[in-house]
Structure 1
């Protein structure tokens, strides 16, 4: 018998994972949003911390809560990739080439893994739709980073009359913050939807049992 996508046991096991993933994404978005420094150094350090924490949470929660489920191996692999690239981001020399390299590779690999896991889990796991959505957004982020010219730089005068410079690092770090904010909001909604689905499914299952007993 195939597992239905609205299986309450799956929902109960799955819902803490997107909530946990949303936390480092929200922190990353907050750091970038409220920082006046959008340099490559800030981007590498903040992204490295985000990727490390996200990878550990993915690996641990997938291992502990999703045993025997179709999505578990892919989420474990995604967690390992995030840990490796997060550590690499913190170890690489600070600069625009390092920022573009590590963020693009991370987004391409994890986006592909998440899309693949979502496709493999279709009609078999409640997480499939969430995985497909996050994977598509992450893969799109990789494409956007590839399209940003690393040598881009433009001088402009702000409203206060001070001359400023918009370069590829500022654009990349800003886009990274926007990506993190979108993912954080989506993951919170996905996690709470799964949790509420569990709570709604439980009374229904109880009513069905009572109906059979009578």
Structure 2
């Protein structure tokens, strides 16, 4: 069983996600504008990577079509985010959940239908499921959430829906990024490992 997706595709998506996870982690203001900016950057870059890779896939027509659709939808969401940075939290939640539910379902579906035929199928299933879970998690956050608390530095702060949602997005990218970087490097090294195993079996049979 071989992978039809080049190893650098998941690595590029993963590095993009990890970079934005770091940005959110070290930015104190988890406001909706930060969500628009980071989601827009991620969606444009990751969507373009997916769309370009779909045109080069050696997979079946359905997989190429679904991957291309996922890439184009992602780019479209990114353009909207970057064009409307002051759209407010409700519209950001709408964009984020729409993006996560549609693209998550598409990637999950491609992974499930590719099981046993493509080494990347397990990665698609995991990432698709994780993205769909992001949509559910965001929808569970009460939009009117506003709770005061005292931080470790004894400074009074406020937990809001924006803080929780943008923080969840950063956590999603951290998991998403780490998984895809590891998965991509595994794809890169797998052929060499398979060749070594084949040579060892041949030597052992002599």
Flag whether TM exceeds 0.5 (same fold).
Answer: yes
The residue that corresponds to 1:3 in the other structure is none
Q: String of CA shifts for 1:68-96, please: whole Å, max 9, x gaps.
A: 44632221111011001111112233321
The residue that corresponds to 2:73 in the other structure is 81
Q: Which stretch of structure 1 is more off in the superposition, 137-146 or 192-201? A: 192-201
List runs of 5+ in structure 1 lacking aligned partners: 1-5
Residue 143 (1) aligns with residue 127 (2)? no
Residue 109 (1) aligns with residue 102 (2)? yes
Aligned length: 203
8 A Cα contact 1:44 1:90, kept in partner = yes
8 A Cα contact 1:156 1:165, kept in partner = yes
Q: String of CA shifts for 1:4-40, please: whole Å, max 9, x gaps.
A: xx33xx36x5322111111210111011011111111
CA distance in structure 2 between the aligned counterparts of 1:128 and 1:159, rounded to whole angstroms: 43
CA distance in structure 2 between the aligned counterparts of 1:158 and 1:19, rounded to whole angstroms: 36
CA distance in structure 1 between the aligned counterparts of 2:68 and 2:17, rounded to whole angstroms: 18
**Normalized against structure 1, the TM-score is what?**
0.87
8 A Cα contact 1:89 1:98, kept in partner = no
**Normalized against structure 2, the TM-score is what?**
0.90
Residues 189-200 of structure 1: matches in 2 within 5 Å? 189-200=182-193
User: Per the alignment, in what secondary structure is the counterpart of residue 166 of structure 1?
Assistant: strand
C-alpha displacement of 1:109: 0.5
The residue that corresponds to 1:19 in the other structure is 11
Residue 118 (1) aligns with residue 111 (2)? yes
C-alpha displacement of 1:127: 1.1
The residue that corresponds to 2:58 in the other structure is 67
User: Per the alignment, in what secondary structure is the counterpart of residue 32 of structure 1?
Assistant: helix
How large is the RMSD of aligned CA atoms in angstroms?
A: 2.2
User: Per the alignment, in what secondary structure is the counterpart of residue 29 of structure 2?
Assistant: coil
Residue 201 (1) aligns with residue 180 (2)? no
User: Per the alignment, in what secondary structure is the counterpart of residue 154 of structure 1?
Assistant: strand
Q: String of CA shifts for 1:127-155, please: whole Å, max 9, x gaps.
A: 11100000111111110011111111111
User: Per the alignment, in what secondary structure is the counterpart of residue 55 of structure 2?
Assistant: helix
